[in-house]
């Protein structure tokens, strides 16, 4: 009969298990960070407006500045409001997607021309097409703060009662329209 | 050759600079005018505590983004309307969410943020305290006569697995 080897006075197994779990958790967290760093919406802030009434605005229409158009004129049916500018390269990228969505005629697509020169904006629309129901021009950025706009493009879905239901920061893609916008729109229409 | 390289580098720099401001509208870049020192220092103090929403690692006071310019203007306008600092912060939180605050409010969903580090520190202190106490006990048992632990320490075998 051999004597068992003397046990080394070391860490108890519980400590080792806890340490290992801690280490694995830390590695997992770092891995999550690495994976997340590639996501295009990494810096996107959640909108504070979701579920709240859309901010009021009254702005001149881009194509006829003598006409004032506001949020009150849009009440009664849902609409998608898209913040864009002719200076914004990403807006050009999303334009075909926005146009395709507007052509389905499910909701009105309103253009919010932000901090832009009217001539530049009109030329931009001539060149790339105008999918908008109406375009309002906020040359001084008067109401952009109320909408919580940080950059362009940004899109908001507002329901018939004037409540903001969905917001997307950055250029819309077919994927975003299919997986986010359309499902929200479906629930809106079912509720009516 | 070197001149060509210079021109090329300059062109690259301009292109990169243009890309960096691509999502930024051009606007009025004139600095804000303050009525007096008190207003300026209050403004600086307030905007240093607010985060730029476009470039999240900069404060509102530091950022050159157009949005930050607009927000600074709004902050000054609100100050002149006689709003308090808390009201101005609330104004921006309502529009941009709590992310604009570098110092988040103490709330139901932020208690972990506020007290989490303290809790972790307490847990760590507890663990260290346990280890130190056990080692001291083991040392006392070793130095004492075999089989007779020092008075006051509970009897326990070496390499105790109790955690």
Nearest CA of chain A to the CA of B17: how many Å?
A: 14
Scanning the structure block, which residue is given the tokens 């709330």? B107
- Chain B residue numbers with beta carbons less than 8 Å from the beta carbon of A50 are none
Q: Do B158 and A9 touch (CB under 8 A)?
A: yes
Residue A106 gets which letter from DSSP?
S
Q: Where are the domains of chain B?
A: 31-105, 107-163
Nearest CA of chain A to the CA of B2: how many Å?
A: 33
- What ipTM was assigned to the predicted interfaces of this complex? 0.73
Secondary structure (3-state) at A167: strand
Q: Per-residue confidence at B103, pLDDT binned at 50, 70, 90?
A: confident
User: Considering CB atoms only, which of B24, B159, B163 is closest to A15?
Assistant: B163
Q: Per-residue confidence at A176, pLDDT binned at 50, 70, 90?
A: very high
Q: Mean pLDDT, to the nearest integer, of B101-105?
A: 84
Alpha-carbon distance values, A168 to A108, A155, A187 (Å):
17, 5, 17
Q: Do B163 and A87 touch (CB under 8 A)?
A: no
pLDDT tens, residue by residue, B126-153: 999 999 999 999 998 887 655 555 555 5
Judged against a pLDDT cut of 50, whether residue B68 lies above it is answered with: yes
Tokens of A6: 């003397």
Q: Do B67 and A148 touch (CB under 8 A)?
A: no
CATH number, domain A58-191, options 3.40.50.620, 3.30.2130.10, 3.40.30.10, 3.40.718.10:
3.40.30.10
pLDDT tens, residue by residue, A72-82: 999 999 999 99
What whole-number distance in Å separates Cα of residue A57 and Cα of residue B129? 62
Determine the pLDDT at residue A141: 85
- Chain A residue numbers with beta carbons less than 8 Å from the beta carbon of B161 are 12-14
Determine the pLDDT at residue B22: 43
CATH number, domain B31-105, options 1.10.490.10, 3.90.226.10, 2.60.40.1530, 1.10.8.640:
1.10.8.640
- Chain B residue numbers with beta carbons less than 8 Å from the beta carbon of A146 are 95
Q: Mean pLDDT, to the nearest integer, of B73-102?
A: 91
User: Considering CB atoms only, which of B22, B71, B94 is closest to A48?
Assistant: B94
Secondary structure (3-state) at A81: strand
Q: Per-residue confidence at B70, pLDDT binned at 50, 70, 90?
A: confident
Residue A71 gets which letter from DSSP?
G
Secondary structure (3-state) at B135: helix
- Angle among Cα B3, B6, B10 to the nearest 5 degrees reads 145
Q: Per-residue confidence at B18, pLDDT binned at 50, 70, 90?
A: very low
* Interface test mutation site (partner B, options A54, A145, A153, max chain B beta carbons within 10 A): A145
User: How many residue pairs bridge chain A and chain B with CB atoms within 8 Å of each other?
Assistant: 74
User: Considering CB atoms only, which of B96, B98, B161 is closest to A148?
Assistant: B96
Q: Where are the domains of chain A?
A: 11-39, 58-191
pTM of full prediction above 0.95: no
């Amino acid at each position: 009969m051999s004597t068992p080897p003397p046990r080394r006075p070391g860490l108890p197994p519980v400590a080792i298990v806890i340490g290992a779990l801690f280490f694995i958790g830390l590695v997992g967290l770092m891995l999550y960070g690495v994976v997340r760093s590639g996501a295009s919406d990494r810096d996107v802030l959640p909108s504070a407006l979701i579920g709240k009434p859309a901010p009021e605005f009254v702005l001149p229409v881009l194509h006829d500045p003598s006409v004032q158009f506001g949020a009150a004129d849009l009440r009664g049916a849902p609409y998608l409001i898209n913040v864009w500018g002719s200076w914004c390269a990403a807006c050009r990228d999303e334009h075909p997607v926005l146009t395709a969505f507007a052509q389905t005629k499910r909701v009105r697509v309103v253009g919010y021309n932000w901090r832009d020169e009217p001539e530049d904006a009109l030329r931009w629309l001539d060149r790339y097409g105008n999918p908008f129901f109406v375009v309002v021009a906020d040359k001084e950025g008067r109401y952009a703060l109320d909408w919580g706009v940080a950059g362009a493009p940004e899109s908001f879905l507002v329901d018939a009662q004037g409540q903001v239901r969905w917001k997307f920061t950055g250029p819309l893609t077919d994927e975003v329209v299919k997986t986010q916008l359309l499902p929200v729109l479906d629930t809106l229409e079912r509720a009516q | 050759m070197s001149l060509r390289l210079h021109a090329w580098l300059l062109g690259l720099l301009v292109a990169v600079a243009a890309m960096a401001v691509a999502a930024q509208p051009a606007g009025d870049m004139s600095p804000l005018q303050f009525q007096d020192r008190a207003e300026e220092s209050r403004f600086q103090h307030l905007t240093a505590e607010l985060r730029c929403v476009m470039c999240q690692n900069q404060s509102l006071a530091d950022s050159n983004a157009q949005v930050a310019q607009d927000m600074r203007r709004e902050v000054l306008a609100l100050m002149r309307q006689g709003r308090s600092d808390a009201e101005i912060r609330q104004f921006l939180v309502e529009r941009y969410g709590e992310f604009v605050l570098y110092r988040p409010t103490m709330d139901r969903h932020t208690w972990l943020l506020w007290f989490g580090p303290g809790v972790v520190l307490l847990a760590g202190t507890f663990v260290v305290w346990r280890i130190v106490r056990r080692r001291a006990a083991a040392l006392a048992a070793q130095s004492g006569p075999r089989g007779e632990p020092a008075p006051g320490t509970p009897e326990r075998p070496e390499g105790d697995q109790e955690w």
